[in-house]
Amino acid sequence: MTRARRETILSYAILILAGLLSLFPILWIIGISLKTQADAFAMPPRLIFEPIWDHYAKVWSDSTFIEGFLNSLFAAILGNLLAFAIGIPAAFALNQRRVPGRAAILAWLLLSYMLPEFLFIIPMYGLFQATGLYDTVFGLALVYQTFTLPFTIWMMRAFFADVPFALYEAARLEGAQSWQILFRVYLPMALAGIAATAILNTIRIWNELAIALGLTFDRAQTVTVAVAAYRGYASIDWGALSAAAITSILPMLIFAVLAQRQIVGGLSLGAVK
């Protein structure tokens, strides 16, 4: 066996091992979601068993879970709409040739993106109670802006920076105003960037638990809160909890597979240049 071939085999072995390690928890949860309570807790673990669909049937007919699922969907859509409505013009402005204090503004945005989510909950709780935003999907989407908006501005600015500035100048010479240049030149050229940013925003909103837990009660509960609800006071419904968890990751999984190229493009942005 040649050296190169040995190295290939070794690297595949490491990758397969790493893949198994990271997939193991998910595989285990899928296992629990398809097992009876007795099978799930059998020692040693039963690798071969009769799958049952009772837990999924229970979760899919649970109105709290379905509502949570829909609330998350709305929060993600609304959160993205808000982030792009403000983030695209902001990124366009920050991408101009001479922006006073651009570095400081970008650093500040990054800072707010890095703040822990818990930080928002206590002040926002009071504010939301007073303004009637508490336990509403719109309120939730508003809070999600604190991290999706800076991220959107960062990403869109990077994509806009890839558009040659001469195009802006050529459009200016043709008499186009800034907003016309944004909509007719920059946005069509940054479509892949918008897709990547929207996907990453959605994943972040979809997986968010802390804020949803603090700022919703029963009307605007999100899917992550609904999953956690199967962990009751007295007992934990492991089967339903696992089925709900698997159901909740499905949309993002499908999303990620379909948009794999955009996500990789978005994540590796700036890495090649």
Binding footprint of other proteins on the chain (CB under 8 A): 164, 166-167, 169-176, 180, 184-185, 188-189
| DSSP element (H, E) containing 59 | helix 54-60
Q: Using CA atoms in the order 208, 213, 218, 221, what is the torsion angle rounded to 10 degrees?
A: 0
Least distance CB 170 / other proteins (angstroms): 4
Residue number, 53 or 183, with CB nearest to other proteins: 183
| 264-267 CB contacts, 8 Å cutoff, 24+ apart | 265/192, 265/193, 265/196, 266/155, 266/193, 266/196, 266/197, 266/199, 266/200, 267/196, 267/200
Using CA atoms, how far apart are residues 153 and 190, in angstroms rounded to an integer?
13
Residue number, 134 or 159, with CB nearest to other proteins: 159
Residue number, 147 or 168, with CB nearest to other proteins: 168
Q: Which residues, in sequence order, are CB contacts of 269 under 8 Å at separation 6+? A: 155, 158, 159, 193, 196
Least distance CB 259 / other proteins (angstroms): 20
Using CA atoms, how far apart are residues 204 and 117, in angstroms rounded to an integer?
12
Residue number, 77 or 185, with CB nearest to other proteins: 185
Least distance CB 96 / other proteins (angstroms): 13
Using CA atoms, how far apart are residues 106 and 121, in angstroms rounded to an integer?
24
Least distance CB 188 / other proteins (angstroms): 4
Using CA atoms, how far apart are residues 265 and 273, in angstroms rounded to an integer?
12
Residue number, 45 or 164, with CB nearest to other proteins: 164
Least distance CB 160 / other proteins (angstroms): 14
Residue number, 129 or 180, with CB nearest to other proteins: 180
Residue number, 188 or 232, with CB nearest to other proteins: 188
Burial level of 222, CB count in 10 A (0-12/13-18/19+)?
buried
Residue number, 99 or 250, with CB nearest to other proteins: 99
CA pseudo-torsion sign 22, 23, 29, 32: negative
Burial level of 6, CB count in 10 A (0-12/13-18/19+)?
exposed
Least distance CB 164 / other proteins (angstroms): 6
Least distance CB 100 / other proteins (angstroms): 12
Going from the C-alpha of 1 to that of each of 8, 10, 13, 14, the distances in angstroms are 11, 12, 16, 19
Least distance CB 178 / other proteins (angstroms): 12
